[in-house]
Amino acid sequence: MKKLKSQHYLLLILSILAVLVAVAAYIFMYKDAIKKAEAESILESDVSAASKQTVDNKNMSAIYESTAASRALLPEFLVSSDDAVPFIDAVEDVGQTTGAKVSISTLSSSATSGSSNQTITATISVTGTWANVMRAVEMIENMPYAVSVKSISIDVLSSTDQSGSVPGWTAVLSISALSS
């Protein structure tokens, strides 16, 4: 009977070893599965990011192509720093169109601080009746250039006297226009 008891111990030890081997194998396979899942998750996020970037690139290309005509027109809105004559002619044409006397007293070119943009600054005097001066100011503001009015002052030159003449007005505008 003693032999039988030793066989039971042997079977008990073997079964305990088998359980330990099974648990160790389970732990090893579990950790391996976790590593593979993490690697797959990283790969999936990389693929998703690459796919999103591809879609974004296609969208940017589509926007770039759809704005080609508008971008081609952009230089027309900039005053040429080498040839400001068309800009000067456009300002002087405002006077002929409105019946006011328009003159440019100063014209200078400078770089905008903090950027690569250049601007042309002009001081323009407009003289005429109230309606003509206001029409001229409006036309200068809406010229086909990237123009912004920096300052404006409007003064009366003369008041209506007993003869009933229409008073004269003068406007002095300081404008800046983007230049190329």
Q: What percent of the chain is modeled with pLDDT above 70?
A: 89
What CA dihedral angle connects 96, 97, 102 and 103, to 10 degrees? Answer: -60
Say whether pLDDT at 72 is over 60: yes
Average pLDDT over residues 100-125: 84
Model pLDDT, residue 3:
59
Q: Using alpha carbons only, give the angle 156, 158, 159 rounded to the nearest 5 degrees.
A: 95
What's the sign of the alpha-carbon dihedral 144, 150, 154, 155? Answer: negative
Q: pLDDT grade, residue 162 (50/70/90)?
A: low
Please, which pLDDT band fits residue 179 given cuts at 50, 70 and 90? confident
Residue partners of 112: CB distance under 8 A and separation at least 6: 118, 119
CATH class of domain segment(s) 75-179: alpha beta
Distance, CA of 39 to CA of 29 (rounded, Å): 15
